[in-house]
Structure 1
Amino acid sequence: MNWDLLLQLTVNGLIVGLLYGVVAMCFVLIYKSTQVVNFAQGEFLLIGAWICWATLVWLQLPFFVGFLLTLAFMTVFGILIQAVFLKPMIGEPIISVIMVTIGLSMFFQALMKWLFGVSAESYPQVFETQTVTFLGMNIEMAYILSLIFSVIMMAGFYWFFRYSKMGLAMRATAFDQQVASSLGISVSKVFAASWAISAMVSATAGIVIGMVNGVSGALSFIGIKVFPAVILGGLDSIVGGVVGGITIGLLENLAEFIDSQYLHIGNLYTIAPFYVLLIILTIKPYGLFGTKDIERI
């Protein structure tokens, strides 16, 4: 057995899994506050990655300036998406709102291809050293940035929901929108904040992934790939999203190791998370940490 390859893939899986966990938290954030599954989440990653790439290549701005401008743009973008497309859907059947997010997904995919083309583009060199060696393993600097970003975001989410006024308002709104409104909480502001935060954090994840793999329409597939992590952890659990993301990241890389060493199927890396999704839904329909709904008549 190639233990060096297994260790390398395990470390990569852990780092990528943490990034999946961050994106999964964005799914959970919107679902907890609005009861809507956002199927345009992957496009948030794609748009953020392309906007940052444009500031670096077209505007020739330094990376951190372009990065901050992208975060500001995505914050406003998330608020506008909620105000223009989702706010008029309040009170409508959930399936109608979900179809709106699917429509937005298709629209933004086509728009990004029209604006930036269909070819993958690489980011300009951001770090002087592209890889570092640790315990005999070569690790991309972008992965190290991903690790730092993921830990900071997870700590930030914990502090935000536990101590900030808006975070407490979001928790109250997730519990019962009518009760939250009767207590003076602006539900519409909570919705706008959840979409803004989700867009901003997803864009950051898209930038990190784009720095490693380049930017193309395929980046939006991350949203679908993360969905098994969300289901695995539970749609309404922030902790579950993190655990699900790490689990899917590790399983992906373990599947790649088994495939490359023994099975030679060729696409096990891509489909393994969805097999896990089917198994988990069969055993625990609400996920590992999801809240089970009980209805009494």
Structure 2
Amino acid sequence: MDILYSIFIDPFVQMVDAPDLLIQTLWEGLVSGVLYALIALGFVLIFKASGVFNFAQGIMVVFAALTLVGLFEIGVPALLALVLTVGVMYVLAVGVERVMLRPLVNQPDIILFMATFGLTYFLIGLGELVFGGNPKSMITQELYLPTGSVDFELLGGFVSLQKLDIAAALIASIMVAGLAVFFQKTRIGRALRAVADSHKAALSVGISLNQIWVIVWFTAGVVALTTGIMWGARSDVSFALQIVGLKALPVLILGGFTSVPGAIVGGLIIGVGEKLGEFYWGPLVGGGIESWLAYFIALVFLLFRPQGLFGDKIIERI
């Protein structure tokens, strides 16, 4: 009975007794969730354009952040380094389209998927060669990102919100909303959906796969840069940061691989869920829930709703 009480009753009693801690935990989960959603959007955009899961998105986050910090370290002003890093991500997008995607048009999806593995290890090797393997500090103040915290009393308790987290949540939310509108309402967005349905059909109506792929990979690169800045500001910029990128996988499983709203909702569920799990149920198992809870939730969805919350159910007739 004590075990059942500790699992099913005591955490909720703690939430009621200390609502300020609950709000603090929910806020931290919300910030993480929005950033997860932003990472997941990069996967969704490329998956919609090519039908393949881009395993390299995580290392793109690291590579973009390292490029920004590396340019600053050699004397480039921070804002100019930011612009140049955007240019590097465009060059990367063009290179991926010319070298990797163009020769593999209409090849099986597994071939494209394995190509993203190759891209991952190429970027790891290039990053280590150019920037070294040591962790670096994000240039937070030089980019005019706020520091410090906002503290206030709430519900008889004390809540502290980091200004950086507030800025990260706002910037990520604006980007997520902007990308959702862009790819739902614009001509490029309609072309992207056509490419996702069929490469051959898109080509037959005059849609350029090459241009769409460059646009999508460049957009994913900008998303990776933004994510790298925000996560790098919360910790160090290192190759370990690509693990955060892989957190988008359970987000995509929850929301659906082709759904922009699904990436948003899935990110919030994972972000809030893992923070609540770690704070209230973590002590029961010695901590560490935050590192595996997202994948457990994804496993449950794969068993009972493999298409995700917003994905289309695929029915094959034989």
TM over 0.5: yes
Matched, 1:14 2:30: yes
Runs of 4+, deviation exceeding 6 Å: none
81-90 or 45-54, which deviates more? 81-90
SS at match of 2:150: strand
SS at match of 2:248: helix
In structure 2, what is the Cα distance between the partners aligned to 1:37 and 1:167?
A: 19
2:317: which partner in 1?
296
- Computed over aligned residues only, the root mean square deviation of the Cα atoms, in angstroms, reads 1.9
In structure 2, what is the Cα distance between the partners aligned to 1:27 and 1:245?
A: 13
2:296: which partner in 1?
275
Matched, 1:61 2:83: no
39-48 or 193-202, which deviates more? 193-202
In structure 2, what is the Cα distance between the partners aligned to 1:98 and 1:128?
A: 36
- Offset at 1:237? 0.8
Matched, 1:141 2:163: yes
**What TM-score does the superposition give when structure 2 sets the normalisation length?**
0.87
1:28: which partner in 2?
44
1:93: which partner in 2?
108
1:115: which partner in 2?
130
In structure 2, what is the Cα distance between the partners aligned to 1:163 and 1:128?
A: 31
Q: Conserved in 2, the CA contact under 8 Å of 1:24 and 1:227?
A: yes
Matches within 5 A, 1:1-297: 1=14, 2-62=18-78, 64-126=79-141, 127=144, 130-135=147-152, 136-260=158-282, 262-297=283-318
In structure 1, what is the Cα distance between the partners aligned to 2:146 and 2:43?
A: 33
Q: Conserved in 1, the CA contact under 8 Å of 2:35 and 2:227?
A: yes
90-99 or 240-249, which deviates more? 90-99
SS at match of 1:191: helix
- Offset at 1:60? 4.4
**What TM-score does the superposition give when structure 1 sets the normalisation length?**
0.92
In structure 1, what is the Cα distance between the partners aligned to 2:35 and 2:64?
A: 15
Kindly tell me: are residues 248 and 128 of structure 1, through their superposed partners in 2, closer, same or farther at Cα, counting changes over 3 Å? Answer: closer
- Offset at 1:172? 1.9
In structure 2, what is the Cα distance between the partners aligned to 1:9 and 1:253?
A: 6
Aligned pairs, number: 295
SS at match of 1:288: coil
In structure 1, what is the Cα distance between the partners aligned to 2:194 and 2:126?
A: 36
Q: Give identity over the alignment, percent.
A: 34
- Offset at 1:264? 4.6
Please, which runs of 5 or more residues in structure 2 have no aligned partner? 1-13, 153-157
100-109 or 35-44, which deviates more? 100-109
SS at match of 2:125: helix
CA deviations 1:236-294 (Å, max 9, x no partner) are 1111111111111111211220255x325232111110111111100101111111112
- Offset at 1:177? 2.5
- Offset at 1:27? 0.7
